Structure 1
Amino acid sequence: MHELSYANAMLEAILNSIKKEEEKGKKIKKVTEINLEVGELTFINVEQLKFAFEVIAEGTVCEGAKINVEFIKPKCKCLDCGYEGEPEILDEFEVYCPKCKSIRLKLSGGKEFNIKNATVEYED
């Protein structure tokens, strides 16, 4: 379940950002929303990611934060026929050219996992 690793990385990154803000004198009460960009080729199960984050965020300022996911589609260039665009994706082991069915592809994008932004509530 690699979703737990991603959830841990998310929590660590957000808590580190909060620590930096607090060092500047800003007091954050709660993280209410987290917006992610996730590449389709990561094959992350969003429900498992949300569940893992919910469990590990318990007792932190991130507890109860809503997680929104925007998926990023991969692009490819076929090394056999020259096709450029989105590849066909059957599963994590079968990615191929939709034009000639070749697996000889140069892939770009689709493996991202970025925290786009987070919405926070500040203490009064």
Structure 2
Amino acid sequence: MLNTILDTVKNHNFKNVKRVSKINLEIGELTFINVEQLKFAFEVISKSTICEGAEIEVKFIKPYIVCNHCGYRGELDTVDDVIISCPKCGSPSLKIEGGKEFNIKNITVEFEEE
């Protein structure tokens, strides 16, 4: 994540970048990422970079499934550890089409005054 942000700022040839102040993420619930651990790890690895001290906001994405048994298509309301079943018929035979994402939605960059 840090390298992607640093590369993006570098590749866009932004001049006078002071810092990245905010990072908005979209994370699928099926990644089972612990946000507090993610924030701590990012805090450690971002020291002495333009991302040091950046606020991280997370929007969780619900799993989107297709049931191979009854044809249900839609989001799952709850994820019970790793046991996932169709909310309509209870079948565990599902195709998961969403909920495993990890996207950097956008970043807020502050610039030096000229």
> Is the pair's TM-score, using the shorter chain for normalization, greater than 0.5?
yes
* Deviation at residue 86 of structure 1 after TM alignment: 2.1
SS of corresponding position for 2:9:
helix
CA distance change for structure 1 residues 27 and 20 in 2, over 3 Å: closer, same or farther? farther
Equivalent position of 1:59 in the other structure:
48
- Could you list the per-position Cα deviations for residues 76-103 of structure 1 after superposition, in whole angstroms to 9, with x for gaps in the alignment? 1111122222235211x21111222211
* Deviation at residue 13 of structure 1 after TM alignment: 0.3
Bigger relative contact order (CA 8 A; separation at least 6): 2
Equivalent position of 1:73 in the other structure:
62
CA distance change for structure 1 residues 56 and 96 in 2, over 3 Å: closer, same or farther? same
Equivalent position of 1:90 in the other structure:
80
CA distance change for structure 1 residues 17 and 112 in 2, over 3 Å: closer, same or farther? same
Amino acid at match of 1:119: T
Q: Which runs of 5+ in 2 are unaligned?
A: none
Correspondence list, 1:1-124, <5 A: 10-21=1-12, 24=13, 26-87=15-76, 88-91=78-81, 93-124=82-113
CA distance change for structure 1 residues 59 and 82 in 2, over 3 Å: closer, same or farther? same
Amino acid at match of 1:109: G
Greater helix share, 1 or 2? 1
TM-score, length basis structure 1: 0.84
**Partners of 1:25 and 1:48 in 2: how far apart?**
30
- Could you list the per-position Cα deviations for residues 12-47 of structure 1 after superposition, in whole angstroms to 9, with x for gaps in the alignment? 0011012123xx351211110000011111111111
- Indicate the percent of aligned positions where both proteins have the same amino acid: 61
Across the two proteins, how many residue pairs are aligned to each other?
112
SS of corresponding position for 2:84:
strand
TM-score, length basis structure 2: 0.91
SS of corresponding position for 1:14:
helix
